[in-house]
Amino acid sequence: MDDAIEISQSRFRTGTIDATATGATTIFTTDPESRSRKFIVTRAVIRLVNVNTLTIPPIISIGTNSSTYNNIIAATTLTSALTDTQFQGTILAAAPVVASGTAIKVNVSTGATATACTFAVDLWGYYA
């Protein structure tokens, strides 16, 4: 008899974010009503939405720690995603645990050098 329990994962996504500008954008805020439950982040996908004349890709991070927001995904240069037909995915080796009522943000620490460069983030995880 297998004692495995199926866990349903949730996906949260941002709107389009300008990668030529620096700053933090909230992906979502964990449920404040589930005080005894934590959100376990399992994976993130960064999708380039609109890219035009990109010469230097942006550096982004994801986290809850103001002001660097890098405790879920450290600062990463989006070098593998240089056109709007590509994406960069990350399956986290150590799943970060986020307390209830906490904002998870994506931070552009170095803006892209481009005529236009926008992206969106999909973040997966589950409450435990």
DSSP string, 73-112: EEEEE-TT--STT-EEEEE-SS--EE-TT-EEEEEEEE--
Given a contact cutoff of 8 angstroms between Cβ atoms, the answer to whether 105 and 25 are in contact is yes
- The pLDDT value recorded for residue 9 is 87
The highest-confidence range among 2-6, 50-54, 108-112, by mean pLDDT, is 108-112
User: Which domains are assigned to the chain?
Assistant: 12-127 (2.60.120)
Q: Place 84 in a pLDDT band, splitting at 50, 70 and 90.
A: low
48 membership: H or E segment, kind and range: strand 39-52
32 has pLDDT over 60: yes
Q: Place 120 in a pLDDT band, splitting at 50, 70 and 90.
A: very high
- The pLDDT value recorded for residue 78 is 85
**The one-letter amino acid at 111:** G
